[in-house]
Structure 1
Amino acid sequence: MSLIGKLSSYDKSQLLIGMEDTGHYHFALLKYLLDRHYTVALINPTTTDLTRKLQGGITKNDPLDSLTICDVIGSNQRKKPYRITKVNRFDLYEQKQLTRHHHNLKEELNIYKNRLQKCIDIVFPELNSLFRSKYGIVYMNVLKTFASAEKIANSDIRIIRKCFEYEGRGKRIQLSAEQLKTTAKASVGISSVAEEIQIRHLVCQIEMIEEQLSEIDKKIEEFSLQNNSPILSIPGISHFSATSILAELGDICNYTKASQIIKFAGVAPYHYESSQFLARHTAITKKGSRYLRKTLYQIILPVINHNRVFTAYYNKKLAEGKGHRCAQGHCIRKLLRIIYHLLSTGQTFDPALLI
């Protein structure tokens, strides 16, 4: 309240409040100020750090950082080193948190699955060859109940059959309990109490994360339906990917051209030129939102496969001698230009206009 007391003596239209866009620490204060119609300038912490170093500063503390923020806001540079925030869009904040949580859980899930496969390779290396796909209901039931070839080989066939029983629709697997037991008896897997304990624990963790992902995906789909974004009309973009892209980009009014969101996604190639030398082959910058970049690389293949214009563009880049990953990058930049146009105009995707 001390801050509001000091601000109340000034006209809101004449105030510009600056703060670093650092993690989550500024969210509560930012929302409080926006709810009261203050104008806030969000500054990249890298900007304040570079400003301090340019001034020759060797000391860093909160009072000096406040003065540095004032210097950044008062800068008369043509390109302002901050972005103005006037509109309260904390609905996008919630969507961003959910989609990022989804990404993080997926990464965690992959780690647990890799660890599980390591344990299976030790106690029952033939198991995966018996199933068409891993992590199905029967697959997980077998691991939870027995956790090793030795346990399966020495168990009553009636107990093994119970692992094959489950309710719900879907095609039943062709593998039988008898075949599983026969394979387990001939397995070269070793007996290990430590690996068996790990398998049971990892299966429980995997199932828990998959339940959490299911809950998150339902909420993300609700947000996506509320957004009703025109980018959903692009074949290959799902409710999750559309919500992730929108949440990471934020208000499209913050961008004046498509190249800015390409730069924000970190998929623009480095431009290196010195004297008469111009680098012909450079990597992408990988600056900006890694979550946005990850989503774009996850969806670009479905977009290429479901749209003949993107398919032709991808093949054109391959014909020019580009590698697969490089051609993907060109398609991603093309996709971002289309996304910027759709969000700016409100138009739905029409592949005929790209020909």
Structure 2
Amino acid sequence: MKLVGIDIGKNKHFFCIMDKVTGEIIVSPTSFLNNKDGFDFFIQKLKPYSKDSLLIGMEDTGHYHFSLLKYLLDNHFTVALINPKTTDFTRKLQGGIIKNDELDTFTICDVLDNHERKKLYRITKVNRFDLYEQKQLTRHHHNLKEELNVYTNRLQKSIDIVFPEFNSLFKSKYGTIYMNILKTFGSADNIANTDIRILRKYFDIKGRGNRISLTPEKLKECAKASIGIPSSSEEIKIKHLIDQIELINEQISEVDKKIEEFSVQNNSPILSIPGISHFSGTSILAELGDICNYSKPSQIIKFAGVAPYHYESSQYNAKHTTITKKGSKYLRKTLYQIILPVIRYNPVFQQYYQLKLSQGKGHRCAQGHCVRKLLRIIYHLLTTNQQFDPKLLR
């Protein structure tokens, strides 16, 4: 077996080839460009060896490795992806005080040379490369949601300055009338000095949905009595923030539509679990990757970072520990977002949640137990391609 360690860079990559049995360096660290000519040069260096005898390793970090990974998979090479923390830990464990691209190729080979039972990498396959696209989309959805929260918080700050009573007039925020009035007038002062007939036009909305109880007359009356401060700068900020919020909402809708297409294409059995939507299901599948990389449920629990720490030293054994929070933060975020609806719509999860509460666990701790139970079920459904059946739960 020949081990190929690749250190990924933006403009060029480095690789070396090592014999797994003897540890001999067959090809010293060599660079190749991150383009078609560079990839072809690299493939030529691998030609003396059969593809079955090669194990190529690279760090799963950033995005610079995507093109090379796809190229190698399309050419039917076996590629192992390594967590950057693993190579960093291996370097420090060996007492390394120097880090450069050439030496990193050796470190990656050392990671690949680990015992099969304790392998510190995962094999990726060409037929699962579509999960990379899904991962990028679902992570983009998460990031857009975070941006949306930032802009809505800024909007509320500006509203508190120019019309602090505004939110109390509406049962829910960010509806059509709510946003149109803010975007057009921007402050209590402008609303108070606007002709009532102009205000009525913004309440005359056609289409489905319940009509709000607020009237133009009531809005104008509250605006006149408002303690808000007239501010042209805040009015401009409100208009721009609403533009940003509307744009992000459009982008989220576009992303969600594509995610739903991927979800229908995946046709995963985890969608049969009540409480898991197209987005959350796709996010879970994309973050986990190929389920064949995991041999037992505890591995995906560990990957999600929801496994509790186990701390034992001499006669001391910690009874209360937090979750590790290692692994994919996006997977962990998705799991904690969906666990409440999963508990709500599944009697078995409800009973399990109540059981943990009755044992003295806190709300968040009980949620964590349910998340781990959910991951064990997800693992079973994905490995057996079986639909969710609450009757089989215990």
Note the C-alpha offset of 1:168.
2.1
Cα distance in 1, alignment partners of residues 123 and 249 from structure 2? 39
- What is the match of residue 58 of structure 1? 97
Cα distance in 2, alignment partners of residues 84 and 345 from structure 1? 20
**What do residues 327-351 of structure 1 show as CA deviations (whole Å, max 9, x unaligned)?**
0000000000000000010111111
Note the C-alpha offset of 1:165.
2.8
Aligned with residue 9 of structure 1, among 48, 54, 63: 48
Verify the 8 A CA contact 1:252 1:343 in the aligned structure 2. yes
- What is the match of residue 195 of structure 2? 156
- What is the match of residue 293 of structure 1? 332
- What is the match of residue 152 of structure 2? 113
Secondary structure of residue in 1 paired with 2:324: coil
- What is the match of residue 26 of structure 1? 65
Cα distance in 2, alignment partners of residues 78 and 302 from structure 1? 38
Cα distance in 2, alignment partners of residues 36 and 75 from structure 1? 25
Verify the 8 A CA contact 1:31 1:88 in the aligned structure 2. no
Deviates more, 1:132-141 or 1:37-46: 37-46
**TM-score normalized with structure 1 length:** 0.98
- For residues 194-233 of structure 1, the aligned pairs below 5 Å read 194-233=233-272
Secondary structure of residue in 2 paired with 1:56: coil
Verify the 8 A CA contact 2:124 2:290 in the aligned structure 1. no
Report the AA paired with residue 326 of structure 1.
C
Cα distance in 1, alignment partners of residues 49 and 61 from structure 2? 27
Note the C-alpha offset of 1:22.
1.1
Note the C-alpha offset of 1:77.
6.3
Which structure is higher in strand share?
Answer: 2
Cα distance in 2, alignment partners of residues 84 and 221 from structure 1? 27
**TM-score normalized with structure 2 length:** 0.88
Note the C-alpha offset of 1:193.
1.4
- For residues 134-213 of structure 1, the aligned pairs below 5 Å read 134-213=173-252
Cα distance in 2, alignment partners of residues 234 and 32 from structure 1? 36
The runs of 4+ residues in structure 1 deviating greater than 3 Å are none
Note the C-alpha offset of 1:76.
3.7
Larger relative contact order (C-alpha < 8 A, sep ≥ 6)? 1
Distance 1:76 1:231, change over 3 A: closer
Aligned with residue 126 of structure 1, among 155, 158, 165: 165
Secondary structure of residue in 2 paired with 1:18: strand
Verify the 8 A CA contact 2:70 2:126 in the aligned structure 1. no
Report the AA paired with residue 123 of structure 2.
I
Superposed CA RMSD? 1.0
Note the C-alpha offset of 1:208.
0.6
Verify the 8 A CA contact 1:112 1:202 in the aligned structure 2. yes
Structure 1, unaligned runs of 5 or more: none
Provide the identity percentage.
76
**What do residues 131-158 of structure 1 show as CA deviations (whole Å, max 9, x unaligned)?**
0100000000000000100000011112
Cα distance in 1, alignment partners of residues 117 and 284 from structure 2? 29
Distance 1:277 1:103, change over 3 A: same
Aligned with residue 309 of structure 1, among 348, 356, 374: 348
- What is the match of residue 13 of structure 2? none
Report the AA paired with residue 176 of structure 1.
T
Report the AA paired with residue 80 of structure 2.
A
Aligned with residue 309 of structure 2, among 270, 279, 288: 270
